Every structure is written in C-alpha cells, then in structure tokens.
Amino acid sequence: MKDANEAISQITLLKQKLHSAKVALDELNEDRNAKLQTLLQFISNLSLACKGQNLELDNRLAKLRHQLTTYEKLDDALPDIVEVERLLKGQYHHVMAQLEDSRAGLGRVVRQIQRVESAPDKLKKEVAYFKQDLSKPLHTVWEYIPKVEKLMAFYEEILSAQFNSGEPLAVLPKHRQLAHELAQIISEIEFRKDQRDQVLVIKEMLAGEIDVEGLMDAYQTILSLLVDNIAREKSASQEFLYALNDALSAVREVVSDSYNHTQRSHQLKHQLNREINSRVDNVGEAIVDIEDITTLKFQITEQLSSLRSALSRKEALEQREQALLRKSMETMRKELNELAEEASNYKERLFEQQKLNLLDTLTQLPNRAALEERMEQEFRSFQRHKHPLWVAVADIDHFKSINDNFGHSTGDKTLQVIAMALKNSLRDTEFVARYGGEEFVLLIPEVSDTDIVQLLNRVREKVKNIPFKFKNQRITVTVSIGAARVMDNELIHETFERADAALYKAKHESRDRVIIDC
Ligand SMILES: Nc1nc2c(ncn2[C@@H]2O[C@H](COP(=O)(O)OP(=O)(O)OP(=O)(O)O)[C@@H](O)[C@H]2O)c(=O)[nH]1
C-alpha cells in the first residue's frame, strides 16, 4: 500500500505541475496576442501610409493584415513581412528613378526655351546658367519644385517680352514644332482626373490651327498643373517617410519584445499536453481498477515512464522551437534595423534638402523663399511692436560688364565675395538675402531714420573697398541701394516696391549711392 500511496502523491504532484504549465501557456498566449495586436496595428499604419504609392505594395500589406488575424504563429508571417520589405526597398529606388526622369523632363523644357529666338539675351544667359545647374542630380522632390517654378518664370518673361514688343506674333515653323513637342510631352504625362478636361482642351488646340499666344498659355497651364501635382506628391512623400519611420520603430519594439518572450508552437504542444493528460488519467484509472499491487506497480511504472518520455519530448520540442525562433527573429531584427536606418537616412536627406532649399547655392545667403518667410516674420513683429523696420534693395552696378570682360565664373566669385561683405556688415538681428541675379534685399529692424542712411552708406562703402583684382587689374565694384521704411497701414510688399523704386532712382543718379524713399 506504501507504493500505491507514493504513486498517488507523485501523480498529484504531476497534476499540479501540469496545471501550472497550462496557466503559464495561457499567459504566453495572452502575451503573444497582445504583441500580435501591436504588429497588426503597425501593418495597418504602414498600409495606410503606403496607400497609392504602389499597387503591389498596397495588396501585399492588405493581405498581410488579413492573414495576421488568423495566424497562430508569428513565424508564418515572416515570408510576407520580408516580401513587403523588399517592395518598400523597391519603392525607394522607384522614387529615385522618377526624380531622375523629372530632371530629364526639365532638361527637355529648357532645350525648348532655348529654341525661342525672340527671348531676350539676358534671359537666354540665365537659361544657359540654369541648364548648367540642372546637370546635377536631384535627390528629392523638394529640389524639383523651385526648378519648375523657375522655368515658369522664364516662360512668363518670354511672354511679356513678346507682348511688350508690340509686333504681331506670327506663327513660325518653330512654333508648330513647339506645339508638336508639347502635345507629345502631354501624352507622356499622367494627369489627375480633375485636370484631364483642361488638358483635353489644350490637346485639341495643339492639334488644330495654333496661335503664339495660345501656345504660350498652353505651356503655362501645363506647367501650373505639373507644379500642383508635384506639390501634392511632395507632401505625400514626406508623410510616407514619417509614417514609415514611426511604423518601423513600432515593429522593432515588437520584435525585440517578442524576442525576450518565448513563442511556442501551439498545435504541437497541444498534442503533447493531451498525451500527458491522458497518461495522468490512465494512472488514475489504474489506481481505481486494479487491486493486485504487483500489476498496479507494473502499470504505474509503465505509465510514469511514458509520461517522462512525453515530458522530455516536450522539452526537446521547446528547445528546438526556441532556437528556430531566435534565429528567425534575429534575421528579421537585422533586416528591420537596416530598413529603419535607410528610412532615417532618407528623412535626414529630406531635412538637409529643406535647409538647402532656403539657401542660395552660389552665395550661401538665404534665397528668395527664405526672404519671403523672414519678411512675414519681421512684418508680424512690426505690427505687434511698431518699432521701425526697413527694407533695402542693393544692386551691383554694371555687373554685366564684369561678366562680359572677365567671364561668368569671375562674375560668380564677385557675387560670392560681395554677399559675404553684405552679411558681415550687418548685425545678427538684421537680414540679407540674394533676391536674384546681382540683387540683394536687406531687412533692418529697430534703426532710426537718421541712422539708416549712415548704416546703408557703411554697407555701400564696405563693398566699394573690397580690393578686387581681375586679370591683374584692380577693379572697384560698387552697389546702389534703395530703401524704404514700413509705414502704418502698409503691407511689407508695398514697402519693397518703394525701396525698389528708390534703387531705380539711385541707378539713374549715376549709381554708387543710397536713396531713401520717404
Ligand atoms: N556670373 C553671374 N552673372 C549673373 C548671375 N545672375 C545674373 N547674372 C548677370 O548679371 C547681369 C545683370 O545685368 P543688368 O541687369 O544689365 O545690370 P548691370 O549690368 O548690373 O547694370 P546696372 O544694374 O544697371 O548697374 C546679367 O548679365 C546677368 O546675366 C549669376 O548668378 N552669376
């Protein structure tokens, strides 16, 4: 009877162990479900962020989202996650290739502008300069937009030159060629649904009897539509990158968490648990049914050894699973880390580009876009505090002759040196931007009417005293400056107009002088 008691207490112990194993398994399942939920949320976010970027990617993510709701094991989702990752990488290269195509497209438009014989000489030079600038690769859509805007400005200039000439605008074979090329370009571009009617009208016009004004309008309309599309693409791509980066951080967290908690194969373990349960039941039955102690002893020994074997198989299975899981998790974690790094590099480049977009590449001074921003900011502060605020426009005198006599690159260097001199002659609270060509705009707050003349003359003298030496020739370069103070009930752009008019006066009063509009 002692043996039977021992067997019973062993069985009770086993039952307890089994119970705690079941509880632990339930906890694991709960934990796994929570992880799966986070992963699912990540897939949903990723799916939303990627929507419309790539159809295959859309479908893959939708499939992954659907499948994950029924997955028992995270491992089964791995091939799909890896596939999504492959598509994401492909998408990145696709965007890059698209940017390169856009650059080629811009190049084509530049060549077309160069064929417009009636374009003013100054513009032709600027276009040539622009073409040179375009030879550098574009990295993001941010770079693309200002270039398209610049092209539009060229067209506008051609248009106004033609109107101002007052000559009848005869349709030349070149115009027909331009119309043909525009029609070809339109057929290669995918326009949005709401733009198609407008494009259709242009297409019909281009196919019929064209006139020069209509042709110019058509170019301008198509360019506006493209700029609009690019602006939308810009914000979409930015949103995509942010979302992708967030999503990647989320999945990385899930993966490292899951890595620490062992995930077990549910089905196989269920089977083993059943076997263990039935062995325990068998022992229980044996105790009830068998009266002969020797048979009981034999039965119990046999059942216990089966139990031991089932338990050790279960342990081996768990170890195997753990090793496999660790390996796949490690691979996944590595790949995800790489992808996260790629996305954050991309984001960094985007920020860099944003910064670059506010700087003039030649002089490293803030450019026109940055000036607009700063003007608004200074104007708001002027409206709040009513302190004096000055807008000054400075223009290098006879700059064309520097280009003509010493070459364009000497002209460029001159611009760089003068830009530095202007910057260094101002205080931190004052601001100077390259407005375009050889023209600079200064914003000067908190300086009185009497002091401004002195300040701007000091700036003018500073430029004049730069010891330029071109081809061994000592050259003095001067600037003319026009300035105006923002008045009550005036918009800052109106002040700018007055400063520009003052500059015009300075130019006509033999240059190298400061004129204040008051
Ligand atoms: N080298 C160089 N030249 C430029 C750049 N941008 C504009 N220019 C040139 O600057 C010159 C400006 O000439 P104009 O507008 O006739 O004026 P200007 O010769 O300075 O004469 P005034 O302003 O009347 O004193 C043109 O020849 C442009 O081609 C640039 O980035 N680099």
Assigned CATH topology for domain 368-517: Alpha-Beta Plaits (3.30.70)
pLDDT higher at 337 or 215 = 215
Instruction: Output the CA 367–ligand 1 centroid distance in Å.
Output: 17
| pLDDT (tens digit per residue) in 26-80 | 777 777 677 767 777 777 777 676 666 667 777 777 777 766 665 555 566 677 7
Task: Determine the pLDDT at residue 197.
Answer: 86
| pLDDT (tens digit per residue) in 462-511 | 999 999 999 889 999 999 999 999 999 899 999 999 999 999 999 999 99
Torsion angle, alpha carbons of 34, 36, 37, 39, to 10: 130
DSSP code of 74?
Answer: G
Would the pTM count as exceeding 0.80? no
Task: Determine the pLDDT at residue 22.
Answer: 74
| pLDDT (tens digit per residue) in 169-183 | 677 777 888 888 888
Instruction: Output the CA 284–ligand 1 centroid distance in Å.
Output: 103
Burial status of residue 449 (CB atoms within 10 A of its CB: 0-12, 13-18, 19 or more) = exposed
Instruction: Output the CA 438–ligand 1 centroid distance in Å.
Output: 6
Task: Determine the pLDDT at residue 392.
Answer: 98
**Distance from first CA to last CA of the chain, Å, rounded?**
119
Residues 445 and 387 sit within 8 Å (Cβ to Cβ): yes
Question: Which atom number of ligand 1 is nearest to the Cα of residue 403?
Answer: 1
Task: Determine the pLDDT at residue 422.
Answer: 97
Would you give the distance in Å from CA 16 to the centre of its chain?
A: 58
Task: Determine the pLDDT at residue 262.
Answer: 46
- Kindly report the backbone phi and psi dihedral angles of residue 467, in degrees, each rounded to the nearest multiple of 5, phi listed first: -80, 75
Task: Determine the pLDDT at residue 274.
Answer: 78
Average pLDDT score over residue span 418-422: 97
Task: Determine the pLDDT at residue 247.
Answer: 60
What is the overall mean pLDDT for the chain?
A: 79
pLDDT higher at 247 or 130 = 130
User: How many CA atoms lie less than 13 Å away from 26 in the CB half-sphere?
Assistant: 6
Buried (b) or exposed (e) across 309-318, using 16+ Cβ within 10 A? Answer: ebbeebeebb
Q: Above 60 in pLDDT, residue 256? A: no
Task: Determine the pLDDT at residue 397.
Answer: 97
Q: Whose alpha carbon is nearest atom 5 of ligand 1?
A: 437
Average pLDDT score over residue span 115-136: 79
| pLDDT (tens digit per residue) in 361-394 | 899 999 988 899 899 999 999 999 899 999 999 9
> At 237, is the pLDDT very low, low, confident or very high (cuts 50, 70, 90)?
low
| pLDDT (tens digit per residue) in 282-334 | 766 766 666 677 776 777 777 777 777 877 777 777 777 677 667 666 766 66
- Kindly report the backbone phi and psi dihedral angles of residue 116, in degrees, each rounded to the nearest multiple of 5, phi listed first: -75, 100
Task: Determine the pLDDT at residue 459.
Answer: 97
| pLDDT (tens digit per residue) in 431-464 | 999 998 999 999 999 999 999 999 999 999 999 9
Q: Above 70 in pLDDT, residue 128? A: yes
> What are the residue boundaries of the structural domains of the chain, listed by start?
368-517
Task: Determine the pLDDT at residue 419.
Answer: 97
DSSP code of 366?
Answer: B
Average pLDDT score over residue span 111-133: 80
How far is Cα 94 from Cα 87, in angstroms, rounded to an integer? 10
Question: Which atom number of ligand 1 is nearest to the Cα of residue 400?
Answer: 19
Task: Determine the pLDDT at residue 14.
Answer: 72
What residues flank ligand 1, with Cβ below 6 Å? 122, 125-126, 362, 395-400, 403, 408, 411-412, 415, 437-438, 507, 511
How far is Cα 110 from Cα 129, in angstroms, rounded to an integer? 11
Among 499, 478, 465, which Cα is nearest to 397's?
A: 478
Q: Above 90 in pLDDT, residue 396? A: yes
> At 152, is the pLDDT very low, low, confident or very high (cuts 50, 70, 90)?
confident
Instruction: Output the CA 159–ligand 1 centroid distance in Å.
Output: 21
